[in-house]
Structure 1
Amino acid sequence: MSDNPESLALLREIRDNQREALALQREHLQAYQRRLDRVERINDRAEAIQGRAGKAIKAIVWIAIPLVFLLLLLMFLPYFSRLFA
């Protein structure tokens, strides 16, 4: 192969473009990794919030619902007392 100046210039240009492309790919990969890390943090927070919500719902089920039934019973107590009096 002869050392043609045009060929050498073209090869250098290709090499430089490849370096730029690789640098751009690295930047994109780093940006993607940052976004992925952020998404993982958001998902972790969402899971924690869902866990707390689940505990709150359990508390409502075990406390509020029996209270509602007790209130209904107390509301209907005068009617029941007339029936059995």
Structure 2
Amino acid sequence: MADESELLALLREIRDNQREAIALQREYQAMYQQQLGRIERINDRAEALQGRAGKAVRFILLIAIPLMCLLLVLMLLPYFSRLFA
């Protein structure tokens, strides 16, 4: 009889430990889902920033650099006109 009661107590303890382990797994799963959502939001923001940076680079390559070259040529034009005059 004592062995049966010890066995039942042991089985109850195992059951309780399993319940605690399952509760911890659910808690960790919830935290994982929160972190995953946060990571996805950060990635979305990074992609948006990269898109804006790409537009800025295109602007610089297509507009700003040619304008700077034109300005440089216009600034040097009087110098070259004196050389060839």
Q: Same fold (TM over 0.5)?
A: yes
Q: State the number of aligned residues.
A: 84
Once the two structures are superposed, the pairs formed by residues 1-85 of structure 1 within 5 Å of their partners are 4-85=4-85
Structure 2 gap ranges (5+):
none
Greater CA drift, 18-27 or 3-12: 3-12
Task: Provide runs of 4+ in structure 1 moved above 3 Å.
Answer: none
CA distance in 1, matches of 2:69, 2:60: 13
Unaligned runs of 5+ in 1: none
Question: Once the two structures are aligned, what percentage of the paired residues are identical?
Answer: 73
Distance 1:45 1:55 in 2: 15
Structure 1 vs Structure 2 CA RMSD: 1.4
1:3 to partner: Cα distance: 6.7
Question: Which TM-score applies when normalising by structure 1?
Answer: 0.92
* TM-score normalised over the length of structure 2: 0.92
Distance across 2 between alignment mates of 1:62 and 1:56: 10
